[in-house]
Structure formats: C-alpha cells, structure tokens
C-alpha cells in the first residue's frame, strides 16, 4: 500500500509540474514614467506676487489586493519660516512605495533628480509593484530655479496568478498649486521639456485571461479667483496644430510646442504582444512643450499642474492548469481515504 501511495503522490506532483512548467518564463509588465524639466514661466510685464503655494505628492502600490501608500504635503508662502516645507525651498519628496510582498524594492528617487526615474523592466523573478514621485524644484517658489518633477509607476507579475497595480501622482503648479496676483493685464509664456514613456506587455502565457495597461495624464490649469472669470486648461496631446488649449473669460491660449502626447493610455490583452509609447528605458530623450497665454486680467489666479501615472496588471489561471490541479487534489483525497481504511 505504501508503494502505491508513493507512486500516486509522485504522479500527482509530476502532472502538476508538467502542466505549470510553461509559466516559468511568463510575465506581465507595465510602466508609466514622466520627467518634466526646465519648466519656465515668463510673465509680461513683470513677475507677479505669489500669495501661496501648496504641494501634494501621493505614491500607491498594490499587489494581489495588498497595498501601501506614501504621501507628502506642505504649503505656505515663499521665504524662510513662511511655510511648513522641509528641505530646500521649492522642493518636496514622497518616499518610494513598494507593495507588501514585492520581490523587487524601489529605492527612493532612483535615477533622479537630473535624470528620469529608473525603470527596472521585466527582468528578474517574482512579482512586484512600486511607484515614486518628487518635486525637485518649483520656479515660482524658488525664483531662478526652473521647475523639475519626476514621476513613475511600475509593476510586474512574473510567475503564477494574481493582480498588480501601482499609481504615482503629483497633484496640484508642477505637482502643486500656486496662487498669485497680477496688477495689470499680463501675458504668460510657459515652456518645458518632457520625456513620457509607457510600456505594457504580456509574454509567454498559457491560455487564460490577461491584461496589462499603462496610463499617463498631465494637465495645466490657470483659473482666475478674483477680478474676472478667466480660465485656461491645457492637456498636451502631441497635436500642436490643433491647439489643445481650452479657454474662457476672455483669456487666450496658443500652443507653441506640443511634440508628444502627455495624455495617453497603452495596453494589451493578447499573449506575446506589447504596446508602447515613446519607450526608451533609462534614457532621457526630451521634447519641447509650450503655450502663450494672453489677457490675464488683474486679480488673483491659481496655476496648477496635475500629473497622474498608473499601471494595472491582471492574470487568471488557464482552464488546463485548473483541471490538472483538480486531478492532483482528487488523487491526494483518494490516498487519504485509503489510509483511513487500512
């Protein structure tokens, strides 16, 4: 009887190993990464008075339903002792976030601040999900220092089943809101360089249900708080000739450079396929963006940059693997019943 039991157990193990061995080199992977550099704001005539600024950073990462979050906020007025920010004036950092159980851990500000955040890619083993964000400098808060931001969300499902998602946000000018006052009709030229990168892939999966996606959204908003109802919203989409500005209240806006899409999604649900946009990992290849805004009438205005990056992965075991697992469990149950009868 012991020989028969051992043989059956070995057969069950071999069957499961045979059925699942094809997944050893399989993975789902997605990344969304954006670096904004040299964001300059030129007002004509003259520099406005900054009433207040607010920074908000949030990093989240989820793996198989278990998540982690890191956030940072601060605000006030420029100048020592006038705000509750720590570190260099006009900068803020939220710690890199790694989902519990991740086999690869992102280090804080990896690759920054002068380059884009490091993309770890689909190599290695295990499953992981992480994100990071940073405001390196903010021009209107630290005059003479062009705005720089870094932002990434990345996840990998390497072997087995489950879901992974990560998101990284810089919200509220360049990841923050700045409240300023103009005393006369003013024009504004806004310009920066950026390197967006998105990639999603499904590789080596057996029959089943899968999805991998990466998303990027970035927008600039100018909104008049007193003295009128001026408004500008700009969502760069790589279509400079179509002018992606929306305006109201007599304010004007014309794109001067818009060479890539900063509001785009990529994804796939098909095995051994990928989808990407401007993807050249760990190489900072920037392109130009800019708008000219006219007729900012006297009053208080807010200037906001909102950035959101996110990725999502999902994999479901194929019917064949579930059937093999059922056979194995049935065999184990049979052995247990025979042991009781001996």
CB 288 within 8 A of CB 257: yes
What DSSP designation does 109 have? T
* Number of domains observed in the structure of the chain: 1
Q: Which residues of the chain have pLDDT under 50?
A: 1-24, 171-175, 321-342
Residue 156, pLDDT score: 95
Residue 42, pLDDT score: 93
Residue 161, pLDDT score: 67
CA proximity to 220, closest of 18, 73, 39, 80: 39
Residue 317, pLDDT score: 58
Question: Using CA atoms, how far apart are residues 34 and 196, in angstroms rounded to an integer?
Answer: 5
Q: Is 282 left (phi over 0), alpha (psi -120 to 50) or beta?
A: left
Residue 207, pLDDT score: 85
Q: Can you give the C-alpha Rg of the chain in angstroms?
A: 26
Question: Using CA atoms, how far apart are residues 250 and 268, in angstroms rounded to an integer?
Answer: 43
Give the residues across from 300 on adjacent strands.
181
pLDDT in tens, 182-239: 999 999 999 999 999 999 999 998 888 899 999 999 999 999 999 999 999 999 999 8
Full domain range(s) for residue 259: 2-341
Residue 39, pLDDT score: 93
């Amino acid at each position: 009887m012991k020989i028969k039991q051992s043989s059956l157990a070995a057969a069950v193990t071999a069957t499961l190993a045979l059925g699942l061995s094809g997944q050893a080199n399989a993975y789902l992977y997605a990344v969304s990464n954006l670096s904004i550099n040299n964001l300059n704001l030129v007002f004509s005539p003259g520099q406005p008075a900054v009433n207040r600024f607010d920074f908000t950073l949030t990093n989240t990462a989820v793996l198989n339903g278990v998540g982690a979050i890191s956030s940072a906020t601060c605000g006030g007025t420029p100048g020592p002792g006038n705000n509750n920010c720590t570190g260099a004036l006009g900068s803020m950092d939220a710690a890199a976030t790694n989902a519990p159980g991740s086999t690869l851990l992102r280090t804080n500000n990896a690759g920054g601040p002068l380059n884009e955040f490091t993309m770890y890619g689909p190599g290695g083993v295990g499953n992981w999900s992480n994100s990071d964000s940073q405001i390196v400098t903010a021009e209107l808060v630290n005059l003479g220092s062009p705005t720089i931001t870094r932002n990434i969300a990345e996840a990998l499902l390497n072997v087995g089943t489950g879901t992974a998602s990560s998101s990284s946000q810089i919200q509220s000018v360049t990841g923050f809101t700045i409240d300023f006052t103009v005393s006369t009709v003013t024009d504004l030229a806004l310009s920066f360089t950026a390197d967006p990168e998105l990639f999603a892939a499904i590789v080596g999966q057996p029959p089943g249900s899968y999805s991998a996606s990466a998303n990027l959204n970035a927008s600039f908003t100018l909104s008049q708080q007193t003295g009128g109802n001026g408004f500008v919203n700009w969502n760069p989409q790589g279509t400079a000739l179509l002018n992606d500005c929306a305006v109201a209240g007599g304010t004007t806006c014309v794109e001067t450079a818009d060479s890539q899409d900063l509001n785009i999604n990529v994804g796939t649900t098909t095995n051994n396929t990928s989808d990407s946009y401007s993807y050249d990992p760990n190489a900072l290849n920037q392109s130009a963006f800019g708008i000219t805004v006219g007729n900012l009438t006297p009053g208080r205005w807010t200037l906001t940059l909102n950035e959101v990056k996110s990725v999502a992965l999902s994999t479901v075991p194929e019917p064949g693997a579930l059937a093999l697992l059922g056979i194995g469990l049935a065999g184990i149950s049979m052995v247990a019943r025979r042991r009781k009868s001996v």
